[in-house]
Structure 1
Amino acid sequence: MNKNISRFVCSALLSLPLLVSAQERKLVDYVDPFIGTGGHGHTFPGATVPFGMVQLSPDNGQAGWDWCSGYHYSENHIAGFSHTHLSGTGIGDWLDISVMPLLYPLKDETADIRATFNHRNEKASPGYYEVELDNKIKAALTATERVGYHRYQFPNQSIPVLRLDLGFHLNWDSPTETYVKVLDDSTLVGYRYSTGWAKVQRVYFALRTSQPFKEAILAGHGVQSAQIKAAKTEEKGKGISAQLVFDEQQKNIEIKVALSMTDENKALQALGEIGDWNFARVKNEAADKWEHELQKVQVSSSDEKLKRVFYTALYHTCIAPSLFSDADGAYKNASGNVLKMTNNNQRYTVYSLWDTFRALNPLFTITQPEKYTALLNSMLAFYDENGLLPVWDLSTWETNTMTGYHAIPVIADAILKDWPGIDKEKAYKAMLASAFQTGRGVPEYIKYGYMPQDKMGHSASVTLEYGYDDWCIAQVAKKLGKEEDYRKFSKRAQAYQHIFDKNTGFMRAKNSNGKFVVPFDPYLSEHDEVKAQYVEGNAWQHSFFVPHDVRGLANLYGSHSKLSQKLDSLFSVKSELTGGNTSPDVSGMIGQYAHGNEPSHHIAYMYSFLGEPWKTQERVRQIVDSMYHDQPDGYAGNEDCGQMSAWAVWSIAGIYPANPASSEYVIGSPAADEVIFRPGGGKELCFKAINNSKRNIYVQEVRFNGKKYDKTYFTHADIINGGEIEFIMGEKPNKKWGKKKDSWPQSAIDSE
């Protein structure tokens, strides 16, 4: 066998028992959708397929921050099963088209219909959810891209009822207009318009039952099935409900609920995604879709817990963005315009960009070769519709949530990696629109070179984030040959230098008069958009957000070693926060490092920019081991639409995009013995950790395709075509490895 070929099979003889074992146990078996439903993870356990429009999941009927997904593991009530859910966010919305099985028809529409349950009688796996309620009704859920498929079993001495509640809402969401129409004795159509985090939301549905119902009770008005054509069979209002009453002998009822964001007719067409009544087949097909996603990354480890953590994390990276268009690419946006994607693209929504630009989107450039073009072009479609790239796109509405304009690093990363199917000139024009917009304090930022606190809150965070986004624009300008723009945005990218306080060693809010805001407390965290100097955090967490110029930041401290010492302090100081309204997002603490929120996610990798990669290895392994586990509270904070999970996927493998638009992945400390990425086209990228263990956390040596490799990072071009990376691990740090400057990841200051 050719030696080069033998490297690419990644020690096949040694791995053979593991591969056989993997064939016996599917990867979906390692996924636990309940991970993240406890603590502050804010995930949901219900049925969905990768990036699907439908997320069919139980709702507890409880409001509150920890019920942003509609469900929290601490609860034992279910109020219904709705068809749209957000995964891991910090704001509650959606929960559209709720269905609840009942033992008897309701006489009082205002009655509490919540049913209790025990977690012992609850199961979930990718694409499937089931529960037996304490009243003995059994519910099972599965889904396709646009259809939620329900199966209900009713106990004896019941009159089976399925209640459709278009008024159901929690937290930020509330209905503004709802409509239902009975077409025949097994089909309903309608819509739910609502407002909330996204001010305009429209969801259309078509519901079909496996058995005819004998009566439909619309908002309290009963219609016998025999009278449907003659009687009033539609209702409109703010919170319309419909009780579908079945024959007492019919104890097994299935329903299909199809969604469209365009109109009811498109919802009826979407019912065709499931052409028969074979629940087991649809469930298996959903599992197969998930298995296809999970097979893109093969993990070998004797640690079963680590594999559950890893594959659940990989699962969570494939839920958002969510499908928004019909099969033909059509959709109705927040402005009410019916539009259509071109070139066989689909439209997606749920862009939590303040979170996902850091690790999830770079991961997509490896794991989503088929879908990422559509995800990117959906952002450009948003630009076409609104004149700006999205900040936080929900149901095509700009929520303007969080700071920065972080569609820019996502698109920049794609352009710099030569991602196909993107109009680069149009994308660049869209970037400039965001960078010169008249809102979000951008004119003040340009005028002063930083964001003045007395002009807009979050001065320190906004300055740092705009500066990074500007660096991304500069790199694209350089690639496209726009030298003047390259120089302009490279200068803007140094905004961080204007707010650094050398006396305290922190980035601080500054007023328009050039003076720092006083008093100053680096432990202060105020969850307030007007007076807070940092968004969802404090000076400790935000002062290190200069991923494009770590060594330029070190120069402000006086030396690389002094910045390294400051990073050491971050991990060792007290974990308490001060302030009367501290942000609940600041969680997962190691000192003042807060893994439960995204601004900290790159920090452990900064040591490698300073010639001390062994410190990166030490901290990364500590974070992996302490901040992720396989229980409902297995995330340190909001899962945030895949970002918290993407950090784990990268770091368990052994690398991380510390500067997410640099096309570089910094080496950390691999936790798994072997991880194989399959980026498409039959290629495989194999990471092997030799002598790996809980104690052997330090990299002694790296080999790339059999040759000694001295850099502390890999480029996208290095790895996208596949190959074998070997990390030789040991119990003690090798402080010589990665010490030389020519082995360090790039920093903007180096090109000055």
Structure 2
Amino acid sequence: MFNRNKKISLIACSALLSLSIGASAQEKKLIDYVDPFIGTGGHGHTFPGATVPFGMVQLSPDNGTAGWDWCSGYHYSDNHIVGFSHTHLSGTGIGDWLDISVMPMLQPVQGEPGDLRATFSHDHEQASPGYYRVQLDNQIGVELTATERVGLHRYQFPARSIPVIRLDLAFNLNWDAPTETYVKVLDDSTLIGYRYSTGWAQVQRVYFALRTSVSFKEAILSGYGIQSAQIKAAKTEEKGKGVSSQLVFNEQQKNVALKVALSMTDEQHALQALQEIPDWDFDRVKREAEDKWERELQKVQLSSTDSKLNRVFYTALYHTCIAPTLFSDADGTYKNAKGEVHKMVGNNQRYTAYSLWDTFRALNPLFTLTQPEKYTAIVNSLLAFYDENGLLPVWDLSTWETNTMTGYHAIPVLADAILKKIPGIDVEKAYQAMLASAYQKGRGVPYYIQYGYMPQDKMGHSASVTLEYGYDDWCIAQVAKQLGKTADYETFSKRAQAYQHIFDAQTGFMRAKNSDGRFATPFDPYLSEHDEVKAQYVEGNAWQHSFFVPHDVRGLAKLYGSHTKLSEKLDSLFAVSSHLTGGNTSPDVSGMIGQYAHGNEPSHHIAYMYDFIGEPWKTQQRVRQIVDSMYHDQPDGYAGNEDCGQMSAWAVWSIAGLYPANPASGEYVIGSPVADEVVFKLGNGKALRCKTVNNSKENIYVQEVKFNGKKYDKTYFKHTDILKGGEIEFIMGNKPNKKWGKKKESWPQSAIDTER
């Protein structure tokens, strides 16, 4: 069987051979660089199984182990598999889904099943985009591939086995638990049913249709059997909190394929979805899945002789195309968490799994370049949530509002889309949805409006919430300005200055403040308490959260007293001890350089802040340090939770040499490009080529920049310039050019610059 390390070696050799004969990056098969095992170790929380871009089905193995590092169902440290379920979360910090679990077995189970986990070795495991394969230690061979709504299994059973496929609707881990399950045998090769469950999303409904390539001789439904010849006369259905079924095949039948189609609406739509795979040609479906991934990867093409960088980059790009995930049927129909059946308008599909606290920072801005076909539907799904619930989602899972994390970060996503003129969005509806979030009665918003900041004694997480609401309000102000809503522009521009209310000049940190105007005590900038009620910061401490003013970096510098003093504070962030205090430190605070925590999203823009105050060479040094130390090509290759594409999007942008430090500004700040060349193929038929001249591991500093052959002095590019295509040349050197980017007119925008 397949050895993962041998695969990597073969890929590296293949890459070098291609280069030696002059093959270009465009001529290679880019999926060969993707390793879905990256992120399955450490605290990455990704899964290795088969899916297609943004597909409803994520068909992947589950170890059967509970725990934080098994949020995706799988962790590379484990050597057990209990089943292959069809829905998984990619890189999140909370475990859920894992619906419709299937497991091949050597013989039927009699009575209580006990521990049904099988062991395996990573030496006999393989994963690539759209495909997963493992040979279990019991010699059952498993291959998986998928379409958007169907998982296709291919099993090979050893001699002297009685082939069995077990459907376990009771299977659950971590937050998830079934509430009602149902299975019905339609004929000797087809089952339908559903799994209702509760967990992080308190209402989840998944319907399925299961079909086998050969007839089973018996179906055992939670203890009683149905002979295939007697299906019409026997009881053929079972309902309960956790129904299981065993499909038993003739002993001589050692090769069995299986299709499992999903719908979030009903069983009939699941049966219709089976037609996504009209035959049993596994290799064809696998090739088509690979072709879909190849088309995705071709959108951003990297040129580098560094095989490790190729694997890191293309695996990151792969991970940016998994969430949000498809929720609607082919005709746009879906049933939401309220039980209402809706249908998306036009060619739109409904999506779910919006990790907005993470993804608004880099993933969603990346989508405005890489997903021109899907992004309108992705944004309109937020508005569908608003239509159904009266508010934009905070963290939409299975269309249920989990209300996880702080801020109302659907707003910067919508603002960015509107300001960039993404087509097919009802701008006025989107604006009214933003206002609904900004004036809502929940999430402490009335206190925030009353005091101008979030009082710690009223709500908690005072510092984080104040900073995040302030940024979201700045986003509303920019849309109001574009729409000519002057009064709203002035109101939300003022609200966007909320950060000024919680800055403590004495300590140099943003601090929680009580309703009496006094800072909350005691105060320790190293304290990280993972407590939703008492903590002053969410998932972090004062060091990591105090710099979240991406819309007004120079306004923040003014509070410190000068650009130089802010720069010194940023320097200290990267230089102080990485020690955290507190008895309940958040595990998300990881990937430390000093108190900079790359494993958690509040730090992601910080290295780029130097560009806003005339010291881009410091940005270049830190960005290169982060890329080199926080991303690698082994299972623990991410510094923290991958978070539905955000950790990967940071890498894609930064390796290319750009980053949306203020995600809704339409500006991409220059960092330190790592690759020889990165080409963005834009949806308008044009391409942006980011070329690095004098590239090497030592030449991390930008000496000058050219855009379409002309000298370019700004430290950022506008989205409108990017869409025109062309070529950016980064001329690099091994020493800082402290003159480049020093002039104020070259800096990215900041709210304090009223003339802009």
Pairwise TM-score range, normalised by the shorter structure: over 0.9
Q: Could you say what secondary structure the match of 1:471 adopts?
A: helix
Q: Could you say what secondary structure the match of 1:751 adopts?
A: coil
What residue is the counterpart of 1:274 in the other structure?
A: 277
Asked if 1:487 corresponds to 2:490, the answer is yes
Aligned residue type for 2:23: V
CA contact (8 A) 1:364 1:372 kept: yes
Distance in 2, Cα, partners of 1:587 & 1:702: 34
What residue is the counterpart of 2:690 in the other structure?
A: 687
What residue is the counterpart of 2:722 in the other structure?
A: 719
Asked if 1:432 corresponds to 2:441, the answer is no
What residue is the counterpart of 2:303 in the other structure?
A: 300
What residue is the counterpart of 1:354 in the other structure?
A: 357
Give the superposition deviation at 1:16. 9.7
Give the superposition deviation at 1:167. 0.4
Distance in 2, Cα, partners of 1:589 & 1:338: 46
Distance in 2, Cα, partners of 1:509 & 1:22: 50
Asked if 1:262 corresponds to 2:247, the answer is no
What residue is the counterpart of 2:173 in the other structure?
A: 170
Give the superposition deviation at 1:296. 0.3
Aligned residues: 738
Asked if 1:33 corresponds to 2:33, the answer is no
Give the superposition deviation at 1:22. 3.4
What residue is the counterpart of 1:535 in the other structure?
A: 538
Give the superposition deviation at 1:20. 2.5
Asked if 1:698 corresponds to 2:701, the answer is yes
Q: Which of the residues 288, 291, 294 maps onto 2:291?
A: 288
Q: Which of the residues 620, 623, 640 maps onto 2:623?
A: 620
**After superposition, what is the alpha-carbon deviation per residue over 1:52-106, rounded to whole angstroms, capped at 9, x for unaligned?**
0000000000000000000000000000000000000000000000000000000
CA contact (8 A) 1:18 1:300 kept: no
CA contact (8 A) 2:26 2:301 kept: no
Distance in 1, Cα, partners of 2:266 & 2:416: 36
Q: Which of the residues 190, 193, 196 maps onto 1:193?
A: 196
What residue is the counterpart of 1:464 in the other structure?
A: 467
**After superposition, what is the alpha-carbon deviation per residue over 1:299-341, rounded to whole angstroms, capped at 9, x for unaligned?**
0011110010000000000000000000000000000000000
CA contact (8 A) 1:738 1:744 kept: yes
What residue is the counterpart of 1:99 in the other structure?
A: 102
Aligned residue type for 1:483: T
Asked if 1:708 corresponds to 2:676, the answer is no
Q: Which of the residues 551, 561, 566 maps onto 1:563?
A: 566
Q: Which of the residues 223, 227, 232 maps onto 2:230?
A: 227
**After superposition, what is the alpha-carbon deviation per residue over 1:605-639, rounded to whole angstroms, capped at 9, x for unaligned?**
00000000000000000000000000000000000
Distance in 2, Cα, partners of 1:65 & 1:454: 30
Q: TM-score scaled by structure 1?
A: 0.97
**After superposition, what is the alpha-carbon deviation per residue over 1:665-684, rounded to whole angstroms, capped at 9, x for unaligned?**
00000000100000123211
Q: Could you say what secondary structure the match of 1:384 adopts?
A: helix
Distance in 2, Cα, partners of 1:91 & 1:189: 29
CA contact (8 A) 1:525 1:583 kept: yes
Distance in 1, Cα, partners of 2:268 & 2:261: 10
Give the superposition deviation at 1:17. 7.6
Q: Could you say what secondary structure the match of 1:726 adopts?
A: strand
Aligned residue type for 1:514: G
Aligned residue type for 1:167: A
Distance in 2, Cα, partners of 1:19 & 1:131: 35
Give the superposition deviation at 1:461. 0.1
Distance in 2, Cα, partners of 1:19 & 1:168: 51
State the identity %. Answer: 83
What residue is the counterpart of 1:340 in the other structure?
A: 343
Q: Could you say what secondary structure the match of 2:323 adopts?
A: coil
Aligned residue type for 1:75: D
Aligned residue type for 1:280: D
Distance in 2, Cα, partners of 1:344 & 1:652: 34
Aligned residue type for 1:76: N
Give the superposition deviation at 1:371. 0.5
Structure 1 residues 262 and 490, CA, compared in 2 at 3 Å: closer, same or farther? same
Give the superposition deviation at 1:457. 1.2
Q: Which of the residues 178, 182, 187 maps onto 2:185?
A: 182
What residue is the counterpart of 1:673 in the other structure?
A: 676
Aligned residue type for 1:495: A
Distance in 2, Cα, partners of 1:706 & 1:541: 39
What residue is the counterpart of 2:45 in the other structure?
A: 42
Asked if 1:606 corresponds to 2:604, the answer is no
What residue is the counterpart of 2:748 in the other structure?
A: 745
Q: Could you say what secondary structure the match of 1:66 adopts?
A: helix
Asked if 1:545 corresponds to 2:548, the answer is yes
Q: Which of the residues 628, 645, 656 maps onto 1:642?
A: 645
Q: TM-score scaled by structure 2?
A: 0.97
Aligned residue type for 1:333: N
Runs of 4+ in 1 over 6 A off after TM superposition: 15-19
State the Cα RMSD in Å: 1.0
Give the superposition deviation at 1:110. 3.0
**After superposition, what is the alpha-carbon deviation per residue over 1:81-140, rounded to whole angstroms, capped at 9, x for unaligned?**
000000000000000000000000001333211000000000000000000000000000
Distance in 2, Cα, partners of 1:391 & 1:611: 35
**After superposition, what is the alpha-carbon deviation per residue over 1:166-215, rounded to whole angstroms, capped at 9, x for unaligned?**
00000000000000000000000000000000000000000000000000
CA contact (8 A) 2:614 2:743 kept: yes
CA contact (8 A) 1:575 1:589 kept: yes
Give the superposition deviation at 1:19. 7.3
Distance in 2, Cα, partners of 1:29 & 1:109: 43
CA contact (8 A) 1:109 1:219 kept: no
Q: Could you say what secondary structure the match of 2:753 adopts?
A: helix
What residue is the counterpart of 2:633 in the other structure?
A: 630
Distance in 1, Cα, partners of 2:116 & 2:741: 62
What residue is the counterpart of 1:81 in the other structure?
A: 84
CA contact (8 A) 1:109 1:220 kept: no
Q: Which of the residues 37, 59, 62 maps onto 2:62?
A: 59
What residue is the counterpart of 1:477 in the other structure?
A: 480
CA contact (8 A) 1:554 1:563 kept: yes
Asked if 1:578 corresponds to 2:564, the answer is no
Q: Could you say what secondary structure the match of 1:427 adopts?
A: helix
**After superposition, what is the alpha-carbon deviation per residue over 1:138-167, rounded to whole angstroms, capped at 9, x for unaligned?**
000000000000000000000000000000
Aligned residue type for 1:378: S
What residue is the counterpart of 1:161 in the other structure?
A: 164
Structure 2 residue ranges without an equivalent (≥5): 1-17
Aligned residue type for 1:317: T
Aligned residue type for 1:275: P
Distance in 2, Cα, partners of 1:26 & 1:593: 36
Asked if 1:523 corresponds to 2:526, the answer is yes
Distance in 2, Cα, partners of 1:17 & 1:197: 51
Give the superposition deviation at 1:343. 1.3
Distance in 2, Cα, partners of 1:294 & 1:313: 10
Matches within 5 A, 1:246-257: 246-257=249-260
CA contact (8 A) 2:26 2:298 kept: no
Distance in 1, Cα, partners of 2:488 & 2:178: 46
Asked if 1:207 corresponds to 2:210, the answer is yes
Asked if 1:322 corresponds to 2:357, the answer is no
Distance in 2, Cα, partners of 1:364 & 1:561: 35
Matches within 5 A, 1:229-244: 229-244=232-247
Give the superposition deviation at 1:23. 5.4
Q: Could you say what secondary structure the match of 2:84 adopts?
A: strand
Q: Which of the residues 217, 221, 227 maps onto 1:218?
A: 221
Give the superposition deviation at 1:522. 0.1
CA contact (8 A) 1:294 1:315 kept: yes
What residue is the counterpart of 2:7 in the other structure?
A: none
CA contact (8 A) 2:190 2:210 kept: yes
Asked if 1:663 corresponds to 2:666, the answer is yes
Distance in 2, Cα, partners of 1:336 & 1:66: 32
